[in-house]
Structure 1
Amino acid sequence: METATNLLFRLPQKETHRDGIPILPGALPLVGHTLFNIGDTLTFLRNAARKAGPLFWTRGIGDRLTLVCMGEPGFELLKNRVTSSEFIREQSPDFVGDSLLSRDGVPHRNLRSAMSGPFTPRGLTSSGAAAISAEVVEACVAGLPSQGAFSLLSHTQRLALDVIFRVMGIDRSELGAWNENYREFILGALPFKMDLPFSPARRARKGRIWLDSRFSKLITAARGRPDMPGTLSALLAARDEEGKALGDEDLIQNLRLLALAGHETSASVMAWLGIVLAQRPDLWEKLREESVAAPGLPRSPEDLKRHPFAEAIFREVLRLYPPVSLTARQANEDLELYGKRVPRGTMITIPIGTYGYDPALFPEPERFDPSRWLGRRSPPSAIDIATFGGGPHFCLGYHLAWMEVVQFATAFAREMARRGLRPQLAPGTAPPKLRYLPFGQPPKKTHIEMVRA
């Protein structure tokens, strides 16, 4: 049977080039390539590049053209020297709003300088965030079932959101409501923006209003408790380059986004990590040996050095199963990409999820091989961890995600070793494929089970 991706390139199309750059064939009426770009996004983009080259136009809803720039020239655009992120504020006012993601230049630098401290490795330790994360991870892993098949993603989604909210100082008793409303808010990432009853846009806006109201109350309470552990109190004490504190509106806009980015991405990586280990007993045994030999879960940068194999698995899972497939920029001036002139104002998609599959960067890219991260004399390069973005908009929560996933891998291996168990895919469960809707997660129907080691 012919796949949708192959059929895409056989559908008729009128205009074939714009500004000397090929337009990807096969766009559907009204929705363009949007439907093909949802789901198996990385395969779509890689196949498109094989057909059209590293620079090509895609059509969106309403026949709007967006340029896709593959490879290192695309990654260079993330440095925002000749591009801007401010268009996001207009395109997604309810979902992204006036946050770090949609600011550039001095406004972005001031906001980021005020927010970055608590999210550095030292900041995570001194604020108590790393210790809080370890406590939540251990409790969640201890609650995983010993018998029967279950969806690991369901557990890691709850775990990751609990970590973020506990780090912010939210009481355990309220976590259920926060989880429920965040699941609604995330619908705002979908490309369909029609505001109709029960539509994703309407549900997302309702969730955002609930979250913003609770964030406002949380900030007010935290201002009265300067000794409260976690990142929120650290953010309240932070100052930007001009010595100014963060206002409530800045805090709300960015806390909402940090919680979104911080839990969806981590939940996905943790779930994929468990699924990979369920298919690779050899990797499980190496992780088990390292984890049992350690005195406990890492809670500081020094502790992380005792877990090189857990970190290597984290990085390899992130490379092959990136939770974010792409990002975008707008050209501030006329550019030249791959020898072609790109006009000022052009919307450019940078497919950050595809860099992990580049054979020039990672030999035999389809092979899952944690050893490629071991024994390195230097830390991963910027493009090695491109799924966290690049340039001034590199993900603020990178170090928290790194700490949290290594904690999860270690706790998972230690707990199951204590029970004399190991994971495997549940009978009848086929190896899952990476799909984006809107984040890259394994299907919830992908179940694992614990068996005797």
Structure 2
Amino acid sequence: MRHGFVAGRCELSSPSMQALTNLLFQLPQKETHRDGIPILPGGLPLVGHAPFNIGSPLTFLRNAASKVGPLFWTKNMGGWSLVCMGEPGFELLKNRVTSSEFIREQAPDFIGDSLLSRDGVPHRNLRSAMSGAFTPRGLTSSGAAAISAEVIEASVASLPQQGPFSLLAETQKLALDIIFRIMGIDRSELDAWNRNYRDFVMGALPVRIDLPFSPARRASRGRRWLDARLASLISAARGKPDMKGTLAALLAARDEEGNALGDADLIQNLRLLALAGHETSASVMAWLGIVLAQRPDLWEKLRDESMAAPGLPRSPEELKRHPFAEALFREVLRMYPPVAFTAREATEDLVLHGRRVRRGTMITVPIGAYGYDPAFFPEPENFDPSRWMGRRVPPSAIETAAFGGGPHFCLGYHLAWVEVVQFATAFARELTRRGVRPQLAPGAAPPKLRHLPFGQPPKKTRLELVRAA
């Protein structure tokens, strides 16, 4: 029997969002096309379509595409952006006719000169040096997978015994704890790292006014603290040849030319990829728990698989013992993508959906929308882990589009995969040991996907643990 998952269905068929999109098309506008490509109606003075794109961008963009087609202009505070839906948009992520280097100028303090803002040879050299530490085997050999399992088991064991609680708050703490532990940070410093990291991420906001207590001032202060501590960690790690974890693996890594990573590259990328990357794992873990709280049938399957295993997986071979936990990870990622969209700048004139696009155009690629495309996923509004079971080939590039694509595919993808499978297994084993199962707290409605900026469940969503039948 196939079960429809109501929370996923509500996200794409929200009556309020549909009504809002219909309203936009009734508003008068002076220009209807730009370079022969439709302009999405309803842009407001100064802010354009930005207010309508906040919170539910995937619903907004899909509704817009149903009205004007897969290629259309939107306007926001930063200017015009061309939205490209469908497979032609995904092809742009290969960076054959596009670039990511504009990100350095748009977010110099937050992104900086990291992997995300490099292209060509500089990007290839840096990624070749870093990628080994983040593969499944690299995570095993460095001890990172074992550290992750240890943190997750301890965190799940400390979940509240009684009363409603926010699973997102719990997964955010444990995901950040994992990152800090695999970087060799002492437990006694976790609160300070967490506090300064939270200040640092303020740099992702488009507010550049530098005043006391402003986001820009807090972000700058947080970055200085993190950079100083990362430099100290790197210096200390260089004197510990037997040290375990991802930082030690990165220090030992070499690029295609045999060069080691310099301190500046390590700091830039650890600050962004290692720290900011934990948000995606935390989001997927929280959504997974919320799904299980609404689907007893899925809970029972996960429970049976988890209890049959000797423990949490710590290697690629052990991951194979948890096919259902992996299927849950992939289906949650498909329906609740942590990132809604990314962007690229055209480096030459090109043709998209039969229309000519000029060099220098900023193009939005809605990577979170591919999971809802019926061309790739039949009945996309149904939460159905069985679509991932029994497959003989790994997921295609577009099936993992929630983590990007092309040369900038997320370096932390495998770490997230390992973490979420470990979390699902530990969650099921610990709750079974207690004789309880998860369910939504009384009065709680199934949460909807919102991106502010990550696709996390609302923090007010509460779970409770009830006696299992």
TM-score by length of 2: 0.95
Superposed, 1:256-275 pairs within 5 Å as 256-275=271-290
Pick from 63, 66, 79: which aligns with 1:47?
63
Q: Distance in 1 between matches of 2:332 and 2:126?
A: 31
CA displacement at 1:205 relative to structure 2: 2.1
Aligned to 1:35: 51
* Partner Cα separation in structure 2 for residue 249 and residue 310 of structure 1: 38
Structure 1 pair 120–370 and aligned structure 2 pair: CA distance change class (3 A): same
Alpha-carbon distance between aligned partners in 2 of 1:35 and 1:50, rounded to the nearest angstrom:
20
Matched, 1:190 2:231: no
Task: Find 1:18's aligned residue among 23, 34, 37.
Answer: 34
Distance in 1, Cα, partners of 2:141 & 2:205: 37
CA–CA distance in 2 between the matches of 1:72 and 1:289?
Answer: 38
| Other-structure match for 1:80 | 95
- 2: CA distance, partners of 1:12 / 1:202: 40
Picking from 80, 98, 110, the partner of 1:95 is 110
What residue number does 1:326 align with? 341
- In the other structure, the counterpart of 1:371 is 386
Q: Using the TM superposition, name which of 92-101 and 209-218 deviates more.
A: 209-218
Cα deviations by residue, 1:36-89 (Å, 9 ceiling, x for unpaired): 112011101111111111001100105x11001000000000000010000101
Residue 58 in structure 1 maps to residue 74 in structure 2:
yes
- Classify the secondary structure of the residue corresponding to 1:134: helix
Tell me whether 1:106 sits opposite 2:121 in the alignment.
yes
Aligned residue identity for 1:220: S
Q: Report the Cα distance in structure 2 between the residues aligned to 1:154 and 1:71, rounded to whole angstroms.
A: 34
Answer yes or no: is the 8 Å Cα contact 1:66–1:346 preserved in 2.
yes
Q: CA deviation at 1:369?
A: 0.3
Alignment size in residue pairs: 452
Q: CA deviation at 1:283?
A: 0.3
Q: What residue ranges of structure 1 are gaps of 5+ in the alignment?
A: none
Give the ranges of 4+ consecutive aligned residues of structure 1 lying more than 6 Å apart after TM superposition. none
Say yes or no: does 1:134 pair with 2:149.
yes
Match of 1:350 among 365, 379, 403: 365
- Structure 2 runs not aligned, ≥5 long: 1-14
Identity of aligned residues (%): 82
Name 1:180's counterpart in structure 2. 195
Q: CA deviation at 1:168?
A: 0.8
Give 3-state SS (helix, strand or coil) of 1:384's partner: helix
Partner of 1:157: 172
State whether residues 168 and 459 of structure 2, in contact with CA within 8 Å, keep that contact through their aligned partners in structure 1.
yes
Given that 1:291 and 1:414 are in contact with CA atoms closer than 8 Å, whether structure 2 keeps it comes out as: yes
Deviates more, 1:224-233 or 1:184-193: 184-193
Distance 2:37 2:210 in 1: 35
Q: 2:302 pairs with 267, 272, 287, which one?
A: 287
CA contact (8 A) 1:189 1:438 kept: no
Deviation at 1:29, TM superposition (A): 1.3
1:433 maps onto 2:448 in alignment: yes
CA distance in structure 2 between the partners assigned to 1:202 and 1:268 by the alignment: 27
Cα separation, 1, equivalents of 2:269 and 2:260: 14
Give, in whole Å, the separation in 2 of the partners of 1:287 and 1:106: 44
Deviations 1:130-155 (A, max 9, x none): 00000000010000012100000000
Partner of residue 250 from structure 1, selected from 249, 265, 279: 265
| Contact residue 190 and residue 438 of structure 1 kept, 8 A | no
User: Alignment partner of 2:88: what SS?
Assistant: helix
Equivalence map 1:202-281=2 (5 Å): 202-281=217-296
Cα displacement string for residues 81-135 of structure 1 (whole angstroms, at most 9, x for unaligned residues)? 0100001011110111000000000000000011011111111110000000000
Cα distance in 2 for residues equivalent to 1:434 and 1:260: 23
1:186·1:260 contact (CA, 8 Å) conserved in 2? Answer: no
